[in-house]
Chain A
Amino acid sequence: MPDLTDKKTAGEIPAQRTETGAAPKQEKARSLGSDAWHDLRRKPIFVISALLILLLIVIAIAPGLFTSVDPRAGDLRLHYLTKPNYSHFFEADWFGYDLQGRSIYARVVYGARASVVVGITVTLGVTILGGITGMLAGYFGGWIDTIISRVTDIFFGIPLLLGALVILNAFTSRTIWSVVFALVALGWTQMTRVMRGSVITVKQADFVTAAKALGAGTTRILWKHILPNAIAPVIVVATIALGGYIATEATLSFLGIGLHHARRRGARRPRPEAPLREEVTTPMTTVIENDQKSDRLDVGTPLLEVKDLHVEFHTRDGIAKAVNGVNYSVAAGETLAVLGESGSGKSVTAQTIMGILDMPPGKVTQGEILYRGQDMLKMSNEDRRKIRGRKIAMIFQDALSALNPVLSVGYQLGEMFRVHQGASKAEAKAKAIELMDRVRIPAAKQRVNDYPHQFSGGMRQRIMIAMALSLQPDLIIADEPTTALDVTVQAQVMDLLAELQAEYNMGLILITHDLGVVADVADKIAVMYAGRIVETAPVHDLYANPAHPYTKGLLRSIPRLDQKGQDLYAIKGLPPNLLKVPAGCAFNPRCDVATDLCRTEIPALHHVTDKDGKELTGRRSACHLWKETLHG
């Protein structure tokens, strides 16, 4: 009996499920090495589960240790036993007696062996058989896939119980292995399907291409690259199937076709998990019923002000301070560009303004977000909802995932008018066409019934813009709106956005990492680093004369003509880990001019003056050495 290895696999399976289940990102799934094992050993739930499984296995191996009663010996009188016989209560009585007067407890104990053996061997059998066939079908495709898939199709047509009855009937003497054979023969195709799907995903990964490019053979690719990365869903399905096979074996026994000597009550079947599905995201531009014309502000009056905003994320590894006291404002007709790398907090700030931050793990710990002077963070959800979408709309980077793939574009555009303004179908469609015309989608009338995937990336982004504009908001937040687009299309979309902004005198917050896009459209810029604004300036001043070493470094690292053949200037080091932001100025480990002061004290966002001491309007720098940076 390979009890030790069984225990280990059985014990690891639930752990693996939670790992992959809780965090669908690859990031987490891969920490299943030795450190994950170390982690698990300290978790009480894992230790308890492992002990329970161990107990079951011991029962299966040595039922005699747990009861001295023969499960087959019945005494009819015992069935009518009214008072337990305390001398062997835990040996026989406590589960009661069946109609033939046999101890149910003893029968459960002796039945465990069949359940464990059948459950584990069948699961191993289908996993190996299904895993191999699935891997071959998924990896090679073509006719191999066609043949394997057709065979699995046929097997899926056979009802498990009926099939098992027929197969078992063919055996003259039925043993536990004939049951195992029947269940493996009928069950392997399920694993084939799961494995095939998983392999098809993994084989497209770049690391597989890289291995091929190195000249790796098929066996190496399958064994080293595909299998370890494709096995996770198979293990999940196997754990669910394990319970199912035990139940099936019990059912067969109950029907008198399985193992007569081991009849027992059926095991509980774990609830199957919901099938994995692509999450259908609905557009974020929420719509409110009554559409009043909003009073427009003149250029210059702040439409939105963010004051001393702090946002934290509570993660397993600690608290990530994503936003640490951000201040900015945007007026009607103005374009504020928020420039930063990944992890700078630029998108988190925007999501907080929109009220679409995931909370938890996110949490606003401090600060105000004033929309026309009213703090949105203090508003009721209902009031906030009225602003979202209608007054402040958002455009996302990935238009394809922000549009619902199963509804036509015209339906999604018209939905707001139909549901919230009671427009008829025809009216809503007309409105949708009008919006599509306004964002210059050619042949809007013909394309209104098309689905998102039928549009190109640039056209989808136009549809997102149309959706954001449909309720004539005051402010648009565009989070990397053109990053996913090609340069020639990028130009069209940015032009459109700028034009519509001017036409409707809207405020625009443009979140991006692209210094080129910023230079093209922004009025003023806020540069963010590690959750703080490190510099703000009108666009021309920032490019001409940056007042923070980070900004300076970014501008210097752009390849220029006269640097051809030389090294590019590169900011040294890496962006900080938000769980371990360096003390003092977060940029100090990467800064060329950092002093001891920078390593201890967080710089304030200083007002910036010119050489004569005159304050420069709109310019701030969070650097102890802003003077040297700006004038030196």
Chain B
Amino acid sequence: MAENILEVKDLVKHYPLTQGILFKKQVGAVKAVDGISFELKKGETLGIVGESGCGKSTLAKVLMNLERATSGQVLFKGEDISQLSGAALKAVRRNIQMVFQDPYTSLNPRMTVGDIIGEPFEIHPEVAPKGDRRKAVQDLLDVVGLNPEYINRYPHQFSGGQRQRIGIARGLALKPEIIICDEPVSALDVSVQAQVINLLEQLQGDFGLSYMFIAHDLSIVRHISDRVGVMYLGKMVEIGSDEEIYENATHPYTQALLSAVPVPDPTARESRDRIVLAGDIPSPANPPSGCRFRTRCWKAEDRCAEEIPLLAVPSVLEGPAAHESACHFPEVREQAAA
């Protein structure tokens, strides 16, 4: 197995809720990310799925050091980067870059494509000497499948899919080792999504990138990911290889999420055994005690309200079902239709 390029240990991000205008008093906290641990291996794609409000975007921001972690560690090649600042942080940023969801807001409308993709070189002049930058930008445009002559155009002259390619080119400019993709295709037209997914996969092969791929489209996540983590209300509830998660999910939330995904096959309509969850995701400011999923879980018992289930390989399960799952009663669900 390849080495761990990124290790996240018990990462916590709480946003304080305050009262008072001049003298602020903390009255609580939004527990956006509440104790998450996982690792990302070199050259691997780790998919992160979960519904809005589960903390997956906050996780991305904390990993990018755009938000400071409340506690926990983010180890990049063994070095904790979560508390870095100044020049040390700037140096680390070269290694971890990000691709954003919305190609319309992620590019500065007042800058040309050349300026946008060239900005990383201005910030980190050591990466490309001044004379070579234009050439470097054109090479990047070529790499992401855009005409290098577009260098002087503005973002509004491009379609959504093309803009996303510009965003990817900017992310690649510093030759990072890790790219965090936050819903990179969900704002794109259906017929263009596949193009961008293929591009990301091709770049991964060419440059040996490791991806953390955050998305809510489970079929795309399955296609691109080697391993998948499922988040619910600030916690990782289950993590494993794509087969372990998609075929042998042992956490009830994962099972419900998978069963809810509309399958593009009308013949499966009758045979589908869908778990329709009751209610909405609770507020992360006041999460349920014990297991956070218990308020919507059909298996919940008294124990679930009292004891927080730990993310661990359940001892009672074997084979592909034996992967990390944070449930007191883990079991593989018998699926009616394959």
Contacts and interface: CB of A to CB of B under 8 A. Distances in A.
A553 B191 contact: yes
B102 A206 contact: yes
A563 B110 CA distance: 41
A554 interface: yes
Contact of A215 (B93, B242, B262): B93
Interface string A208-243: 011111111100100011001100000000000000
A559 B97 contact: no
B193 interface: yes
A596 interface: no
Interface stretch (B8-16, B35-43, B153-161): B153-161
Contacts of A1: none
A206 B194 contact: no
A378 B108 CA distance: 47
B26 interface: no
A590 B105 CA distance: 27
Contact of A514 (B66, B222, B262, B267): B262
A92 B162 CA distance: 64
Interface string A481-512: 00000111111101100000000000000000
A545 to B, nearest CB: 12
B201 A488 contact: no
Interface residues of A, number: 72
Contacts of A563: 223
B198 interface: yes
**Interface of A: prevailing SS:** helix
Given A229-B109, A567-B198, A574-B162, A486 B174 contact: no
A540 B265 CA distance: 8
Given A213-B66, A557-B193, 12 more contacts: A206-B105, A206-B106, A207-B108, A215-B89, A215-B93, A224-B119, A488-B51, A516-B261, A519-B264, A520-B266, A564-B222, A571-B194
Contacts of B220: 559
A341 B111 contact: no
Interface in A461-488: 486-488
Nearest to B269: A520
B108 A224 contact: yes
Contacts of B90: 215
A486 B216 contact: yes
Interface of B: 22, 51-52, 61, 64, 66, 89-90, 93-94, 97-98, 100-102, 104-111, 119-120, 122-124, 154-156, 159, 161-162, 167, 170, 174, 189-195, 197-198, 201-202, 216, 218-220, 222-224, 242, 256-257, 260-269, 274, 276-277, 279-281
Contacts of A15: none
B156 A515 contact: no
A217 B125 CA distance: 13
B264 A516 contact: yes
Contacts of B195: 570-572
Nearest to A31: B156
A558 interface: yes
19 contacts: A206-B100, A209-B100, A229-B108, A341-B190, A456-B280, A459-B280, A488-B277, A491-B274, A522-B266, A540-B266, A543-B264, A544-B267, A550-B191, A554-B191, A558-B219, A559-B219, A561-B222, A574-B192, A575-B159
A341 B109 contact: no
Given A207-B107, A486-B52, A488-B257, A568 B197 contact: yes
B138 to A, nearest CB: 19
A40 interface: no
A210 B164 CA distance: 13
